[in-house]
Amino acid sequence: MTDSFALPTRFGAQQLGGCYAPETLMQPLLDLEAAFRAAWADPAFLAELKAELRHFVGRPTPLTPAPRLAAELGIKALYLKREDLTHTGAHKINNALAQALLARRMGKTEIIAETGAGQHGVATAAACARLGLSCTVYMGVTDMARQAPNVARMRLFGTKVEPVAAGQGTLKEAVNEALRAWAGRCDRAHYILGSALGPHPFPTMVRTFQTVIGEEARGQVLEQSGDLPEIVIACAGGGSNGLGLLVPFLGDGLRRIAVEAGGHGKALGEHAARLDGGRMGVLHGCKTLLLQDEHGHTAETASISAGLDYPALGPELAALALDGRVEMRRASDDEALVGARLLCETEGILPALESSHALALLPALAKEGAATVLLGLSGRGDKDLSTYQSRLGI
């Protein structure tokens, strides 16, 4: 990779993305872009990242055939890209570790992060412990209650977890507080944003660090089956998981699908499906599809999954959807629970509630005649056991 690799500030015909940030953050963002370009052109940085991904994260993650689930659904072949088998249990560690290495390279000694489902927070906490960096993670009180095991894990790794009680106490509010904290300490701290969101260069940088998922999966499915699948599918919150799996398949003639959180209803405030109900707006530093009320205020969202409970879609994923290169679908809370239970009972794999939204779409794809499917399991479901127990009565 050379210094001139593509680092777009805007995406698609709608020119989504951009850098809508306060003046205090403009120079840190410019410094971050320059540091990222230099690091991505440095063989030593790339070698260290590759070694850490292998020996600390556990890459490459397996591509697991799921023959019993495929037979149950009437699909010829189903492959699962197992990000649930990474260290810390989700895809978030790929980006968190890479940004932590970049922060250390920049001379930063403190890390700030936000988290919703807790997986990005845990991944960042683990990376900081690995590299000897202090860490503070902002987390909404609602998410802290429903993801208590991840709060404990972060604290065990030596990270300070700051509760955020404003608003709904979820991911949106956590991002607000993390950005405020970074603005006050940007001379010594780096903000590890966990989703493909925020002001430039975060969306492209996060996507770049996550495409290791799809690059591995593409090679693995060709090796195992001799051909590419008809469909590649992933769940979509902010976009890091969806882009990480789908972008390496953009040049292939197949269907690429991202599944949003359909929540428990169709009305605004009852779901987190941005493509159906969203309008253009600016949130947390970028222009994208955003759930808003009639006055233009950011709307409340609802999802059984903390990681998908966010009102904006990452700008690059939104552009790919609007340009027709990625299909956006939605799955309800109840459908996600059914999908999770089916995977558990047929394959002995407990998925995160986020991943269960992608699983929920498989019956519909089977009815549409899908023969071969590659599905991204973004994380494991240990963190969601209390929700599964209460909602499924187990």
| Residues that are catalytic | 92, 114, 378
Tokens found for residue 228: 């590419």
Question: d(Cα 159, Cα 126) in Å, to the nearest integer?
Answer: 9
Question: d(Cα 270, Cα 312) in Å, to the nearest integer?
Answer: 14
Question: d(Cα 259, Cα 233) in Å, to the nearest integer?
Answer: 8
Question: d(Cα 223, Cα 94) in Å, to the nearest integer?
Answer: 23
Q: Which residues pair with 162 in a beta bridge?
A: 138
Question: d(Cα 187, Cα 231) in Å, to the nearest integer?
Answer: 45
**b/e code 127-149 from CB counts within 10 Å (16+ = b):** bbebbebebbbbbbebbbebbee
Helix 212-225 with 202-210: angle, nearest 10 deg: 30
Helices (H), the chain: 23-40, 43-52, 67-73, 92-105, 119-131, 141-146, 148-156, 171-185, 202-210, 212-225, 240-246, 274-277, 315-322, 333-347, 353-360, 362-367, 385-392
Residue 187: partners with Cβ closer than 8 Å, 6 or more residues away:
none
Residue 118: name the closest of 134, 97, 138 by CA.
138
Tokens found for residue 92: 């978030």
**b/e code 19-43 from CB counts within 10 Å (16+ = b):** bebeeebeebbeebbebbbebbeee
